[in-house]
Structure 1
Amino acid sequence: MHSTQLEVFAEIEGIGSASGLFIHGDLLYILGDNSGYLNEYNIKTKVLRKIQILFDKDLQQLENIPKALKPDFEILCQYEDKLYILGSGSTSKRNLMIEFDLKTHQVVRKDLTEAYGKLKSMAKIDDQNFNLEGAIFTGKTWLLFNRGNGLDSKNGIFKIEGTDLANSSQVLFNSFKLPNIDHVESSFTDATLVKNEIFFIATAEDTKSTYADGEIMGSFIGSINLQNLKLTFSNKISGRHKFEGITLLHQNEQTISFLLCEDRDTDELKTTIYKLVLKH
């Protein structure tokens, strides 16, 4: 079994609604679901740099974009020298994918409307129950984590073979049952790959909508075997936080440490990064 220890790692001004994390040396990349920027935070110098990734002329602002217009960037994942930023797909305005090159800082934009449509059709998930919150790319396979916080509780993992997500053809959907709190089932909010184990976070939120927020009942961390996509373990880590981003910080024989970020569903441009230590 595992025990967990949660502590504050950093408090950062200038970032709101944090939804994704990736650490690269001393640089912590932080995504906000209502922002047109990718945030680059230097852990040692505590300097924050904003990298513009949205260039829509129709947007009047790039921070705290109104809910009806926001790209809802819920996913930040990495493979080799690229970061992949994906919209949740929960509305027609949330189907955008951004590729960011860590070396050249080149930004490439892709429309995933057709790809998301194929996923919904294959898994028989309607628009009100499609809400992607996490992704893993292995270089050969994409895993996309659907948050089952809609009426149909479609918690599950899309497994997509191939490198080009925008032109996917071979797709499987694995339904998942996660722990509940007071009869409110938790649902995926992010995931990261550590060797052959998928570590995920999930939140129990008292809502039946992928759009409207509800009362936070608690959050979990757990792991899933990469090969068979079976649940290995799950542990409750908080009764009040809505964690939406996870990245590996450190690992040894006794412990594994992650950084987590939370979406507080406010317009305040301030975020807290947490350190979570799992002891075997």
Structure 2
Amino acid sequence: MHSTTLEVFAEIDGIGSASGLFLHADLLHIIGDNSGHLNEYNIKTKALRKIQILFDKAPDQLENIPKSLKPDFEILCQHGNKLYILGSGSTSKRNLMIEFNLETKKVVQKDLTETYTRLKSIAKIDEHNFNLEGAIFTGKEWLLFNRGNGIDAKNGRFKIEGADLTKADRIKFNSFKLPNINHVESSFTDAALVKNEIFFIATAEDTKSTYTDGEILGSFIGSINLQTLKLTFSNKISDNHKFEGITLLSQSKHNTSFLLCEDRDNEELKTVIYKLVISH
């Protein structure tokens, strides 16, 4: 049995539509789906630094990018000394990947259009149901999680062998059924690998579109065994929050703690970071 507790960890001004996060030492890196910045928040000093990762817009146009033009950065994951920021692929303007080197601060942009096209073909997912919102990179393979909030409810995990995501050719896709609320199935919004378990967050949103937002019915935390792909557990953690990012905070014999971020689907430049504790 697992029990969960959820509490506010931090409130941060200057960040809107938070959709992914990663904790490295005392620095919490946060992305927003409508921003051209990577945010670096010091959890000890509470200082916020913005790092420009898009260079095709003027500095004053990098926050609250209009929905039709936004890069839709829904994914932030890490391996070694690099952060990887990926667009969702839900429209043709959302196929960009950013590599950010934590040591040199170098920013590299890559186009994932061909890779996303292959993923859709292999999984038989059309453009109205393709919406990546989580990723894990082990250095040898990528795990990408499709959010099944389109009409076909295509929740699933892509496994891509090899480190270069722009040259993906060995691809497998596994579908998943996740818990539902009032007959609305929840869908993946992010994932993190902890030892041999994939911890995921999922939200039930009353919509049949990967583009249009709907009523939030609740969110879950759960885990999937990395080898067997069997669901280990799932717990409802909120009735009204749309959590879109998860990162490990700490782990002990009895507890695993994560930080979560929430996308409130508005233009307010303020975000709340939550602490979720799972008791084993």
TM-score bracket for this pair, using the shorter chain length: over 0.9
In percent, how many aligned pairs have the same letter?
A: 80
Structure 2's unaligned 5+ residue stretches are none
Deviation at 1:12, TM superposition (A): 0.2
Partner of 2:19: 19
C-alpha distance in 2 between matches for 1:56 and 1:129: 28
Deviation at 1:217, TM superposition (A): 0.3
Correspondence 1:109 to 2:142: no
C-alpha distance in 2 between matches for 1:155 and 1:239: 21
C-alpha distance in 2 between matches for 1:161 and 1:119: 13
Partner of 2:190: 190
When the two chains are superposed, the root-mean-square deviation of aligned CA atoms in Å is 0.9
C-alpha distance in 2 between matches for 1:48 and 1:229: 38
User: Which AA in structure 2 matches 1:246?
Assistant: I
Deviation at 1:229, TM superposition (A): 1.7
C-alpha distance in 1 between matches for 2:213 and 2:117: 24
Q: Specify the SS of the correspondent of 1:122.
A: helix
Q: Specify the SS of the correspondent of 2:86.
A: strand
Partner of 1:141: 141
User: Which AA in structure 2 matches 1:90?
Assistant: S
C-alpha distance in 1 between matches for 2:27 and 2:57: 30
C-alpha distance in 1 between matches for 2:119 and 2:30: 27
Partner of 1:273: 273
**So what's the TM-score if we normalise by structure 1?**
0.99
Structure 1's unaligned 5+ residue stretches are none
Partner of 1:62: 62
Q: Specify the SS of the correspondent of 1:118.
A: helix
Deviation at 1:228, TM superposition (A): 2.0
Deviation at 1:57, TM superposition (A): 3.9
**So what's the TM-score if we normalise by structure 2?**
0.99
* Cα gap change, 1:112 to 1:49, in 2 (>3 Å): same
Correspondence 1:30 to 2:33: no
Deviation at 1:60, TM superposition (A): 6.8
Partner of 2:241: 241
Partner of 1:155: 155
Q: Deviations over 1:35-84 (max 9, x none)?
A: 00000001111100000000014897100000000000000000011000
Q: Specify the SS of the correspondent of 2:128.
A: helix
User: Which AA in structure 2 matches 1:93?
Assistant: K
Partner of 2:210: 210
The range that moved more, 89-98 or 226-235, is 226-235
User: Which AA in structure 1 matches 2:45?
Assistant: T
Partner of 2:228: 228
Partner of 1:80: 80
